[in-house]
Chain A
Amino acid sequence: MNDFKKTDSSADTPAAGPEAIRAIPVRHYGRYVAAVVALGIFGLLVWAFANGDINWGAIPDYFFNDRILKGVRETLVLTFLSMLIGIVGGVVLAVMRLSKNPVTSSIAWFYIWFFRGTPVLVQLFVWFNLGFVFEYVNLGPIYKDQWADFMTPFLTALLGLGLNEAAYMAEICRAGLLSVDEGQTEASHALGMSHGKTLRRIVIPQAMRVIVPPTGNEVINMLKTTSLVAAVQYPELLRFSQDIGTTSGATVEMLFLAAAWYLIMTSVLSVGQYYVERYYARGSSRALPPTPIQKIKANVLSLSNRSGGGAKA
């Protein structure tokens, strides 16, 4: 049967060069079994949720509710500001950690050790409860106030998330800076460029290629981690969803709604991340990776080529 096909196909193609191999591919029966099992489990889950006591209609009803939208806004603001603190703090810590000054590098090491070694939720609670320890914020002549007035829930959330993030960003930045070949610094110095210019113009742009992908992950993680601040009385997406859930009686539905919003936001961020990575990849590979739109175009083209080419496998 095998031979039959071969001779058959070679008959109608002109005999130019060695004839193309047309073999029967290996059948992977295990894959069929796995696919059936996976589909079965997925179907059961869908069936269970479809038949559960869930008021699906509540989700679209509240999807663009004012409080939900406010929560989305708060979540985004909190993500943005704490990442800002995290990135700036991370760069400073990374430079401190890599500096030749043993005092600054030890302090940076200690900071990273402490903030990476304790859970964010614990840190948030500590910031939240510092009012029991300090009565006043006293910066001498510059600023003096009651602790409770100074440490608002917003500041608690921001400091808790931002300072924790700085420790992670420091390690990411350090890895990035170390990834740049020493020859680059030497070449730059040999041209008479200062340390600062070398860092800004030569080292950091190259380090970015290593720094950007994990930072994108950190942003996405941060967006989700902001939900923890519900525990320290700062209202954001999760908090508002829960509130609506308890008053309207649609607890689970509102959690689904929050999850949907988180998914939408993280998906948008991933797309942004792709383009930022692409920007920093310039020069590192001979051709830039295609954008999704270019990919789709190429796929469509190859599809039409295949059907036009007439070789049906």
Chain B
Amino acid sequence: MSTGTNDTKNVPGAGSGTAMVKAEGVHKSFGPVEVLKGIDLEVKPSEVFCLIGPSGSGKSTFLRCINHLEKVNAGRLYVDGELVGYRQKGDKLYELKDSEVALKRRDIGMVFQRFNLFPHMTALENVMEAPVQVKGVSRAQARERAGQLLERVGLADKAGNYPSQLSGGQQQRVAIARALAMEPKLMLFDEPTSALDPELVGDVLDVMRDLAESGMTMIVVTHEMGFAREVGDSLVFMDEGVVVESGHPREVLTNPRHERTQSFLSKVL
């Protein structure tokens, strides 16, 4: 169970004041396969934090651990100073109830590679759904806010369309608006442009750039090195479940120190 030895003791404070996300020796296995082998990192508020690496390196899994879509097996993961998925009393950990997990997820928006819009609802209804159902916002208020968000992602005229009537890029922008409707303090992007036609990628990246400029804390798993270089504040290169190299994007991308990073970047750039 405990691969990380010293992380059970000094928890309560955990340097929570500054970090939006803090990982200490995070491990995750699927059956016998160990996907994350001790991740340590820190994401500061208002930071755009990019995760890159070959497929199967564990970046998406790590992202999904942050909002507890996956359970961490060992180590500690904090969001805004609070432990993800568990409550600590003394030196015992208690699993959070589903309702408590749901409560925490309200503050974390997530954008998926395959959009995962609700196909039986229009774009506007997709964006309205969570505020009405989760926060109890009135339908009228939610509709107005959803309209504003769709305008912000440049899709005000598509409000009445069903996802099947939208292009991939439009669907992803609706998905971003849907996540923003919950007014999260942290946004997770899981390869948001990987399923898009090349010419549609730009629109989505523009929306993300906008969002970054507004001061949103963002963790972005991506293969868009250009975006990482221009918009990112920090960048981490992951491979086989460990952080290989981290630093400022421009530095890591132009001047990779590690051999593994060099060979990856030489194939991607």
- Chain A residues with a Cβ under 8 A of chain B: 181, 183-184, 186-195, 197, 201-202, 205-206, 282-286
Contacts and interface: CB of A to CB of B under 8 A. Distances in A.
B102 A201 contact: no
Interface in B134-192: 134, 162-165, 175, 178-179, 182
A142 to B, nearest CB: 34
Interface residues of B, number: 33
Interface string B192-225: 0000000000000000000000000000000000
B69 A193 contact: no
A1 B112 CA distance: 64
A192 B69 contact: no
Interface string B69-109: 10000000000000000000000000000110011111011
A117 to B, nearest CB: 35
A282 B121 CA distance: 9
Contact of A192 (B102, B117, B119, B121): B102
Given A184-B118, A283-B162, A286-B162, 20 more contacts: A183-B116, A186-B112, A187-B117, A188-B118, A189-B69, A189-B102, A190-B67, A190-B105, A190-B108, A191-B105, A191-B130, A191-B134, A191-B182, A192-B104, A192-B134, A197-B133, A201-B129, A284-B119, A284-B164, A286-B164
Contacts of A190: 67, 69, 105, 108-110, 179
Contacts of B118: 184, 187-188, 202, 206
Contacts of B102: 189, 192-194
B164 A283 contact: yes
A193 B130 contact: yes
Interface of B: 67, 69, 98-99, 102-106, 108-110, 112, 114, 116-122, 129-130, 133-134, 162-165, 175, 178-179, 182
Contacts of B129: 191, 201
A204 to B, nearest CB: 10
The 6 A-B pairs with the shortest beta carbon distances in the complex, nearest first, are: A192-B106, A187-B116, A191-B130, A190-B110, A183-B116, A283-B162
B69 A186 contact: yes
Nearest to B120: A283
A283 B117 CA distance: 11
